[in-house]
Amino acid sequence: MCVAQNVYDANGKLADIRLGAAVVANSFLYQPASGKLYAWRFGNGLSRLLTLDNDGRIAQLAGGTAASTAHKLDFAYYADDTVKSLANGIYSAFSTDFSYDAASQLTPAFQPGDQQHFMNTMGL
């Protein structure tokens, strides 16, 4: 059985995530002023960059290698901080717009390039 292990640097910040001998993620980078995590590298060599907006919400997730971008997702929000849209910068057909009912519950969400749709059927 493999157990996930978090390895921390001398400043107490996450440096590696390991699963047995395998590195799941490493090369974590933190904002100097806030100390917030903003980038890391997965064990397969792909990088991940997390960009936050002025309100601290995720504005963009992007990553790949030095040679190519593997993924790029841009987030937009309504004034009440619910997600308005998710724009896929690599596969635009998988971009999604979101809407909510009067109780702030997500109404059905569809991706034009995918046969899946998402909806709350439990009234939660």
What is the average per-residue pLDDT within 107-124? Answer: 64
pLDDT of the residue at 68: 85
The per-type count for the chain, helices as H runs and strands as E runs, is 0, 11
pLDDT of the residue at 120: 59
CB 28 within 8 A of CB 54: no
Residue 56 and residue 37: Cα distance in Å, rounded? 12
pLDDT at 78 exceeding the cut of 70: yes
Residue 95 and residue 77: Cα distance in Å, rounded? 14
Residue 23 and residue 19: Cα distance in Å, rounded? 6
pTM here is 0.75
pLDDT of the residue at 119: 60
For 59, how many CA atoms within 13 A lie in the half-sphere containing its CB?
7
